[in-house]
Amino acid sequence: MTTPTATSPVNMRDARVPEVPEALSTAADALRAASPSPALQSFRAAAWSAFARLGLPETKHEDFSYVSAADLKSSLLRPVAPPAAAMVEGSVGSAAVALDFTDGNLASFTVPDNVGLHALAEEDFPAALRTAWTTLVEHEIDAPAALAWALARQPLAVTVPRDLKTTVRVHALQKDAARADLALFFRLEANADAEVVLEADLGADAFANAALAFSLAPGARLRVLQADAAEGLQLLKLRFDLEQDARVEFLSVSTGSRLARLALEANLNAPGAQVDLRGAAAVNETNRVHRHLRIRHAAPHCTSNQLFKAVVLGTARSSVDGTVTVDRGAQQTDARQLLQHQLLSAEARADAKPRLLIHADDVKCSHGATVGKTDPAQFFYLRSRGLTPAAANALLTQAFLGEALDLAPDGARSAAWATLASALHAGGAA
Amino acid sequence: MTTPLLQITDLRASLPGPPQVEILKGISLTINPGEVHAIMGPNGSGKSTLSKVAAGHPDYEVTGGTILLGGENLLDLEPDARARKGLFMGFQYPVEIPGVSNAEFLRIAANARRKERGEEELDPFDFQELLTEKMKVLDMDARFKERGVNQGFSGGEKKRNEILQMAILEPTVAILDETDSGLDVDALRIVSAGINALRRPDNGVLLITHYQRLLDYVQPDFVHILAHGKILKSGGKDLALEVETRGYDWITG
């Protein structure tokens, strides 16, 4: 089995005295005490030291400058429920992988014969997988993710063997629980092909903090379709590590919520790796949606595309903070980044921070950000064909978001559009 | 006596300033059922402004006059209401709208017009049938249905798409702004055939063109020469030929 290449953090933080709140360290101690597994203990210790290095997020930290510090901190400091024995219903030999979490506990699973599902606490957890996972956790760059790795009750890994095609559905249900932390690791062996659907259903006051890492062997293909929950406080970190000719397609669909933050980290570690990362959001009322993107071209001949679009209504806010780093020697890099917002009300707010850090001289990189209303020429064209202002705006908003949805298969695309359209409609745009 | 379809009386319009620039300086024109009129004129004469003002483009300020369509003053209506009443403006530069499928756009537009006329709206299935039939007339490839509105269309394809919209919306009066510009001979022939196929005893067409060649394909009943914001001369189709040989100077002075 190939070990995923570990990479050093993209952004080195300034020296800061790590402040680990007592409530969290007590919870971490309780978790450690509850599990006799040395593997799990050392994994959690690695995550914990990453969190200590990163510190509790503050608005003054660049990575969280657009996010409500009060919501973020109070969420992350919520008490961690003590470990409890949970009933798990499982079946092996199904057609697809399904993992259902309730309140942070694995409630049920199905897994095909040839796909591996391993709990990190188990003794037979593959050693190479554990090393790879622990190494990437040590190098975590996102503070909430470090906490998710540290505090998840049952870190799980899914392994897809070489040449196998499979689908995975992960669903997190959390109606009343104050807090749940989730940790998942996916390893796709050479030329494996997986479609992963990530869904969450949260109560208005629920807080979910999830970290998922995907490690792709040469030639592996991954498509991730992720949808935010309609309410609640949700922090999600996804990390992709790609070896030679591996490909990732990712789509996030969101209508925002009181706090919805997605952090993406993609490391293109060998020639021919490609990522296409897209987001479509329609955010109304007082909802918030934040995207934090860190793409690293660590090898030559890799391609990355980022297209993130959001329509903001009411007094909602959206932010996209994206950085592409091209390492020295990563020649022939092709990196594109476009962050676009449409503001449909005077009080709506959007922040975009596109950034390129290029340390190679033979690369093709573009980045841009736009914030605007609907295009007046397109608007007039539609009205000249008899469409009312509301109908014209609805169509233009659909068009604006549509491009980001293009990589979803038809069924997922229309479901995504239905979600976004309902937010637009509720916000008075259509 | 026939009731005119479109009656423009002493129309004046400006680009708001400062300084305010008057572009249309009192235009009067009457189109009766079944008639095709052509407006020709040198660059900057106000031809395109006339079509945009009629369609309700927000860049212009109307300072006087009326445009009656079926007895109603279009200038009192919003652009979309004018379209639903039966006015169609073919754009000189059709706008690209990536992300909205051409077929969906056409269906929404067609249904807005049908609703106005008290007709039943078409469901996607019935509309497909109508669309396929109209596209055949204009020799358009079926793939234009699912592409974004005008997205990546060539100049000729965009103009064909304008005529396709006209075919589907069945306007009372169509004002076609330099539909011939940017067309090669084959495209011009196809577009012209489309316009001719849509001529009916109960509708009217106003062609705005810089060159006479479109009028070889679409025979106008009347030709008007517009210069300095006014119609300086009106006549039959021979006037267009005369302009072709003598230029505009003998009219505009």
As averages over each run of 10 residues, the pLDDT of chain A (430 residues) reads 38 44 75 80 92 87 87 89 78 93 93 95 92 96 96 94 97 90 97 98 96 98 97 97 98 96 98 98 95 98 97 95 96 96 93 95 94 91 93 87 86 88 74
SS3 track for chain B: CCCCCEEEEEEEEEECCCCCEEEEEEEEEEECCCCEEEEECCCCCCHHHHHHHHHCCCCCEEEEEEEEECCEEHHHCCHHHHHHHCEEEECCCCCCEEEEEHHHHHHHHHHHHHHHCCCCCCCHHHHHHHHHHHHHHCCCCHHHCCCEECCCCCHHHHHHHHHHHHHHHCCCEEEEECCCCCCCHHHHHHHHHHHHHCCCCCCEEEEEECCCHHHHHCCCCEEEEEECCEEEEEECCHHHHHHHHHCCHHHHC
Question: Which of B91, B98, B109 faces A386 most closely, judged by CB atoms?
Answer: B109
**B15-59 pLDDT, tens digit each:** 987 888 999 999 999 999 999 999 999 888 999 999 999 999 999
Pick the residue of B51, B59, B80, B101 with the most A CBs within 10 A to test the interface with A by mutation: B80
Contact state of A383 with B99 under an 8 Å Cβ cutoff: no
Beta-carbon pairs below 8 A across chains A and B: 75
Enumerate the residues of chain A whose CB falls inside 8 A of the CB of residue B148: 399
* Confidence (pTM): 0.79
Q: Which amino acid is at A43?
A: F
Tell the burial category of B26 from Cβ atoms under 10 Å away from its Cβ (0-12, 13-18, 19+).
Answer: middle
CA atoms lying within 13 Å on the CB side of residue B165: 34
Tell the burial category of A158 from Cβ atoms under 10 Å away from its Cβ (0-12, 13-18, 19+).
Answer: buried
Q: Which of A24-33, A144-153, B79-88, B192-201 has the lowest mean pLDDT?
A: A24-33
Enumerate the residues of chain B whose CB falls inside 8 A of the CB of residue A385: 80, 83, 105, 109, 112, 165, 169
The confidence score (pLDDT) of residue B140 equals 84
The confidence score (pLDDT) of residue A430 equals 52
Pick the residue of B52, B60, B89, B97 with the most A CBs within 10 A to test the interface with A by mutation: B97
CB-based contact B86:B173 (threshold 8 Å): yes
Range list of H helices, A233-340: none
